[in-house]
Amino acid sequence: MNIQTIMVAGAGQMGSGIAQAAAASGLHVLFHDISSEFIQKGLATIAKQLTRSVEKGKITEERKGEILSRVRPTDRLEQAELAELVIEAIIEHMELKTALFQKLDTICPAHVILASNTSSLPITEIAAVTSRPSQVIGMHFMNPVPVMPLVEVIRGLETSQEVFDSVYELAKQMGKTPVEVNDFPGFVSNRILMPMINEAIFAVYEGVASMESVDQVMKLGMNHPMGPLELADFIGLDTCLSIMDILYEGFKDPKYRPCPLLRKYVKAGRLGRKSGHGFYRYP
């Protein structure tokens, strides 16, 4: 399939990054969210990231303008009918995602591919609410999208080979490295990453070491660029908890039980960088 126009549904951190990477690769992007305010915030995020690249000498001002010109804001979901591919990048909540996919299924012509950027929810379950399960696939980008090369390309039970091949090649066109993954809770990235973060939280919870010490051990001993608790704050503790709950529910294995301290912090509103306080404080 010749994909030239995509819609990114969701103008948050991930959606903004996906839209930027897609536009930078030459694709035309319909940039959608439920309100103009959210869309404008997303556009401002893209412009800020591109301005930083100009200041660092990575791109020219002309190149920045080129990329921005390919991102077209729209608060009308109905414009998805103009795209060959829709990438959903909304909140990690199954009911909201399936409701969106049902709407997209009625709006988009039969050939349009519907992709989810979900980090842990089953693609097969999302696909099942549509009349085109063979056209539904996962495209799990990493944060921050313009920088991180990986895209997990996740087959649902019914995903066709043609759709998989099209999305795999598109990810490469976007300058990413696609990796084929089958549809299990957490896929590969979060099935491995989140239990590590959760275990680091348990180490603090059980008094094994301070949070600073846990992070230092993993940075200096395992050469991680960020400690697991720093990374949890960056991702968002609410997101970490949501993914751990999905793993626990999906596998029914006690090794995926979220640490009580993680749940306590989320209930207290200590969500990490985005709230100004998680395991660490942020000005």
Annotated binding site for NAD(+): 10-15, 33, 92, 97, 119, 143, 274
The beta-strand segments (E) located in 89-192 are 113-116, 136-141, 150-155, 177-182
Active-site pick, 116, 117, 140, 198: 140
Active site residue 152: yes
What DSSP element (H or E) covers 28? strand 28-32
Q: Exactly one of 152, 166, 198, 242 is catalytic; which is it?
A: 152
Annotated catalytic residue 119? yes
Decide: helix, strand or coil at residue 257. Answer: coil
Which segments within the chain are labelled E, that is strand?
5-9, 28-32, 71-74, 85-88, 113-116, 136-141, 150-155, 177-182
Spatial distance between the Cα atoms of 36 and 33, rounded to a whole number of angstroms? 7
| Rounded Cα gap, residues 85 and 118, in angstroms | 16
Known binding positions: 10-15, 33, 92, 97, 119, 143, 274
Catalytic residue among 117, 190, 198, 242: 190
Active-site annotation holds for 277: no
Measuring CA to CA, which residue among 134, 222, 142 is closest to residue 175?
142
Q: Is 224 a catalytic residue?
A: no
The answer to whether 83 touches 135, Cβ cutoff 8 Å, is: no
- CA 6, CA 218: separation in Å to the nearest integer? 39
Cα distances from 261 to residues 202, 278, 279, in angstroms, run: 8, 11, 10
DSSP letter assigned to residue 84? S
Tokens of 241: 């908890």
Among the listed residues 16, 116, 117, 119, the single catalytic one is 119
DSSP structure class, residue 179: E
Residues catalogued as catalytic: 119, 140, 152, 190
